[in-house]
Structure 1
């Protein structure tokens, strides 16, 4: 019987896959199964917070936690997955290529921002998809203070009115005034194809977005998209030009390109279809978790979203089930029927909803307090000082929301 579980990715799903596997192995007194996590860094990058200031600090080191729980960490970037040979080729920190074999693979390589062939997008737009890009945006914003006071300098165009776009846009007025001064004529414009503000998020949450946008002074250009970007601004598909020194792209996400190397069905965003145990369809030894997995959350037809709300439990279940499969323990069917949304709306506050129809439960300062708890406490990894508590936190039955 094989004895190696390999996890690709150290995001929310990858981290919790490793802890989920180690928890079950610990419970079963099995020391003959090795759990290896392959990632470029031994750190959890807190991606849901990259719209905030101080992006360089938004990560949690994982070395001590891995040491405490017995997870083997291998530093490297996965390049190639061979499901027939059960091998993953990766690039080491020194630039060399190496290979890791596996008996069970958990692909938790996350997702990345979709960048369509819009002229000027690659050269002139910023984003908050990776910590390096969020830091690049912050450095750019800080540098605006040394530029002449012009409408373009004071204008930020946010492309996309979805979750990331709204959180980024509503945070910007405060960030810009902190940099440019309270008297600066700050302008934040959101470009969105929807017919209404926050159309993609539904009627339950829209009133709070409208109110926050009005109070914060956000402008929305609806029913349109960006045709091109240059160093001085954007041109919309209706011919309108907006002069802006800063353009932030937030439109659309796609699963890691590594999913393309798995011979299994994928959805339009590249996510692998998995069964109730999070095993990739048609492959008995490959699991997917987090943004690489298209999993049913309940029996009503709801599908997990690309969010840490789903990535954390998906990881717990995937790790548990991969280990269970190796050692002959009954696996557990992934189930996460409760769905919530907590949308940050900058200085205005936040809005918290429950259910896939997003029924509003908290709004304003009360929701903001909850959002801050989520962002600063709930989504961070457990402390490495208590091994038992860290493994206990990986119990798949623990509700996230």
Structure 2
């Protein structure tokens, strides 16, 4: 009999592993969203209408033998996935790929396509009406969003506040952060580091309404629109029985060198859900998916399993269509021109190919 594989989560890692196993197993991908969402380009889509449609890619062409089930995993145990609809899927092999959450618009918090489109329209409309934007968090999300806003609305003041002492976490050279700061300054983005707000803004995030806030240093900031750009979390509350024991305090799963969930031979975890010591990004999710798929194939055929080597710190951080900074362990530091080239398409063509959709860029 053909072995069954259930992949829980249809993000970057999930679609990669599902497609890679479609020829050797009966694959079922479980995903509540109506379409794949290319989150890497979500912040561009929040300011640029031409990108608002591109980031939604249908799942229809992903699998030729398997199937995509639009549902949510409610309870997962070794060998079984209980769905929110009440159905239960049996699995010889499980791949957990439910990814992470972060605030709108870096992630869209609704599964329906029309509602997700509306979220983007609401953000763009609010930005268009705003006379001053406050972003909380000077990590990759906050700084990329600041760059997108400043490039699209150059006369709108943008302020970024973060309690940390430096721009962007991770092990990056001084040159990287220096050029990042220079470009932000040239865009007119004001960054306040090493400080917090004494109280959060009164309006709800994404709502245009004048407010003032005070930093712990006593500075008063006036704006009429704000967004949280921090607070990434993982979705693993659906795990039960022995799988729940692998959850760490932050919700991530302890995995072996072969990306198996600790204590389980036929259950794999990939992407942001894992405790691998590396920055959680789409590229690492895809690489982990490739290793996990190879190892499922190896278990099916009786071959030797592969180990996964965590990626060194690296990032491509755009600041609008023509700016940004990049750091790669092999290439080193790259400035605005090369970053803009790398992010010109946000590599969407790669994921369109995985999903069996004709390239649109």
State the TM bucket, normalised to the shorter chain: 0.7 to 0.9
Is 1:46 aligned to residue 27 of structure 2? no
Q: Tell me whether 12-21 or 218-227 shows the greater mean CA deviation.
A: 218-227
Could you list the per-position Cα deviations for residues 54-76 of structure 1 after superposition, in whole angstroms to 9, with x for gaps in the alignment? 33431222212313xx2222121
Alpha-carbon shift at residue 213 of structure 1 (Å) = 0.9
Could you list the per-position Cα deviations for residues 327-382 of structure 1 after superposition, in whole angstroms to 9, with x for gaps in the alignment? 423222223555532110125512221129x941x211222111224433345443
Matched residues in 2 for 1:234 and 1:100: separation? 52
Alpha-carbon shift at residue 6 of structure 1 (Å) = 0.6
Change (3 A) 1:214 1:57: same
Match in the other structure for 1:256: 235
Alpha-carbon shift at residue 21 of structure 1 (Å) = 2.0
Is 1:81 aligned to residue 69 of structure 2? no
Change (3 A) 1:35 1:342: same
List gaps (5 residues or longer) in structure 2. Answer: 111-115, 204-209
1:157 to 131, 134, 140: 134
Match in the other structure for 2:226: 247
Change (3 A) 1:98 1:204: farther
- Asked if the contact 2:144–2:317 (Cα under 8 Å) also holds between the matched residues in 1, the reply is yes
Q: TM-score, normalised by structure 2?
A: 0.83
Q: TM-score, normalised by structure 1?
A: 0.75
Matched residues in 2 for 1:109 and 1:174: separation? 32
Alpha-carbon shift at residue 241 of structure 1 (Å) = 4.2
2:286 to 312, 317, 320: 312
- Counterparts of 1:2-401 in structure 2, within 5 Å, are 3-22=3-22, 25=24, 33-41=25-33, 43-52=35-44, 53-54=48-49, 55-67=52-64, 70-83=65-78, 86-91=79-84, 96-113=85-102, 127-130=105-108, 132=110, 135-136=118-119, 138-143=121-126, 145=128, 153-177=130-154, 185-198=155-168, 202=172, 203-226=174-197, 227-231=199-203, 232-233=210-211, 235-238=213-216, 240-258=219-237, 261=240, 262-295=243-276, 303-335=277-309, 337=311, 339-355=313-329, 359-360=332-333, 362-382=334-354, 384=356
Could you list the per-position Cα deviations for residues 278-328 of structure 1 after superposition, in whole angstroms to 9, with x for gaps in the alignment? 100112221101111123xxxxxxx23211010011112112212322342
Match in the other structure for 2:206: none
Alpha-carbon shift at residue 138 of structure 1 (Å) = 3.9
**How many residue pairs get matched?**
337
Matched residues in 1 for 2:106 and 2:196: separation? 19
Alpha-carbon shift at residue 257 of structure 1 (Å) = 2.9
Matched residues in 2 for 1:259 and 1:8: separation? 10
Instruction: Please provide the CA RMSD for this pair.
Output: 2.8
- Asked if the contact 1:204–1:359 (Cα under 8 Å) also holds between the matched residues in 2, the reply is no
Matched residues in 1 for 2:105 and 2:233: separation? 15
List gaps (5 residues or longer) in structure 1. Answer: 26-32, 115-125, 148-152, 178-184, 296-302, 387-401
Change (3 A) 1:168 1:189: same
Alpha-carbon shift at residue 253 of structure 1 (Å) = 1.4
Q: Tell me whether 194-203 or 217-226 shows the greater mean CA deviation.
A: 194-203
- Asked if the contact 1:162–1:201 (Cα under 8 Å) also holds between the matched residues in 2, the reply is no
Alpha-carbon shift at residue 127 of structure 1 (Å) = 3.9
Could you list the per-position Cα deviations for residues 133-170 of structure 1 after superposition, in whole angstroms to 9, with x for gaps in the alignment? 6852542432565x6xxxxx311111110111111111
Matched residues in 2 for 1:249 and 1:74: separation? 32
